[in-house]
Amino acid sequence: MSRITTLTEFILQNQADFPYATGELSRILNDIVIASKIVSRDVRQAGLVDHILGAQGEVNVQGEEQQKLDVVADEAFIRAFEQGGEVCGIASEENDDFVAFQSESAKNGKYVVLFDPLDGSSNIDVNVSIGTIFSIYRRVSPVGTKATLEDMLQPGTQQIVAGYVLYGSSTMLVYTTGNGVNAFTLDPSIGEFCLSHPNMRMPENGRLYAMNEGNIFECEEGLRTYINYCQSRENQTGMPYSGRYIGSLVADFHRNLIKGGIYIYPDVLSAPEGKLRLLYECNPLAFIAEQAGGLATTGRQRILEIKPERLHQRVPYYTGSKLMVEKAMECLEG
């Protein structure tokens, strides 16, 4: 039997990958590991808490257990970062504004973390995979002061670490420090994330496309051309591609990362800028996609080069296997 590498061990072994190898980033990753284990445990009990314990009225009295899982996840991650001392502030999907931590040790923190605590919320109640997406940047404001909006509004090219945790049939943590992509699966029997997918590469091409096709008549002509191409025998496989749409970005992305495929959330009439958020959904997954050999664009522009203007800014999103994204962009150009 080959030797198991735990995530903790892997982080220590690869600490030199970080541009500033002082151990702080390793500690932030460790905070993420702890919070994601808490969230994973809570996700696994979702049906029980909502429908069994809740129905007996015992959880209601406590209040906290009744909170929606995405608030539970948000709090678990914020608490981990606030107590860790390496992070001066965070931005999250669940908070209108960013949070600058007040303690002296936090003000000395050199990093900010942007995250989507639970992605795919509409899937929580139906027992379908959901996830957490995160992105770490070095602050641009002076150390020793409170975090600022500028710390949060950095282009994706400045990411130091990005990753996601997928609460699927198993819980998996996937991340990059700009030196390839590695994935770790949580072994519940020992409570450790173990290296299961070293140096992941996204297949250059694929035959899976993921888009909410309910929007097909709400999007631009060029995208309909691309979807027609996917469904025809004119593509490189000579057979129609398969449509696969989970409705949790993180799960759709993860499948495409392993099997090859494209994920599309375009600008549509009801969401003229697209639906997905640049800072804590698109950028982290774009960094991972590129590190694995894939692409991430708005259909016209590289995601990582966009200069963010707002915390919850949305963008159209095309990510996945390199040749598929290139073909989609070609169709958009007409």
Region of residue 19 (phi > 0: left; psi between -120 and 50: alpha; otherwise: beta): alpha
The distance of closest approach from Cβ of residue 33 to Mn ion in the complex, given in angstroms and rounded to an integer, is: 20
Judged by CB, which is closer to ligand AHG: 119, or 151? 119
Q: What letter does residue 88 receive in the DSSP assignment?
A: E
- Residue 15 vs 67, nearer CB to ligand AHG: 67
Residues contacting Mn ion: total by CB under 5 A? 4
Of 164 and 175, CB closest to ligand AHG = 164
The least CB distance from residue 137 to ligand AHG, in Å, is 20
Residues engaged in binding ligand AHG (CB under 6 A): 93, 116, 119-121, 212, 247-249, 275
Q: Output the six-digit token pair for 110.
A: 């050199």
Contacted by 248, from ligand AHG, Mn ion, none: CB < 5 to 8 Å by type = ligand AHG
Q: Do you know the residue count of the chain?
A: 334
Task: Name the nearest CA neighbour of 7 among 185, 188, 250, 167.
Answer: 185
Query: If binding is defined by CB under 5 A, does position 75 make contact with Mn ion?
Result: no
The minimum distance between CB 133 and Mn ion, in angstroms, equals: 7
Smallest distance, Å, CB 252 to ligand AHG?
6
Question: Alpha-carbon distance 280 to 298, whole Å?
Answer: 15
Cβ at position 21, least distance to ligand AHG in Å: 32
Least Å from the CB of residue 139 to ligand AHG: 25
Q: What is the DSSP string of 299-315?
A: SSSBGGG----STT-B-
Report the C-alpha dihedral over residues 283, 284, 290, 293, rounded to 10 degrees: -140
Residue 261 neighbours by CB under 8 Å, 6+ apart:
206, 207, 208, 209, 210, 244, 255, 320, 321, 324
Beta-carbon contacts of residue 99 (< 8 Å; ≥ 6 apart)? 78, 89, 90, 91, 92
The residue within the footprint of Mn ion, chosen from 119, 151, 267, 290 (CB under 5 A), is 119
Q: Which is nearer to Mn ion, 91 or 331 (CB)?
A: 91
For ligand AHG, the closer of residues 24 and 93 by Cβ is 93
Look at residue 247 and give the partner it binds from Mn ion, ligand AHG, none, a contact being a CB closer than 5 to 8 Å depending on partner kind.
Answer: ligand AHG
- How far is CA 304 from each of CA 21, 197, 242, rounded to the nearest angstrom? 24, 24, 28
Tell the smallest beta-carbon distance from residue 219 to ligand AHG (Å): 12
Q: Which does 255 bind (CB under 5 to 8 A by kind): ligand AHG, Mn ion, none?
A: none
**Stretch of residues binding Mn ion (CB under 5 A), selected from 31-39, 109-117, 296-304, 311-319:** 109-117
Distance (Å, whole) CA 87 – CA 162: 15
Binding site for Mn ion (CB under 5 A): 93, 116, 118-119
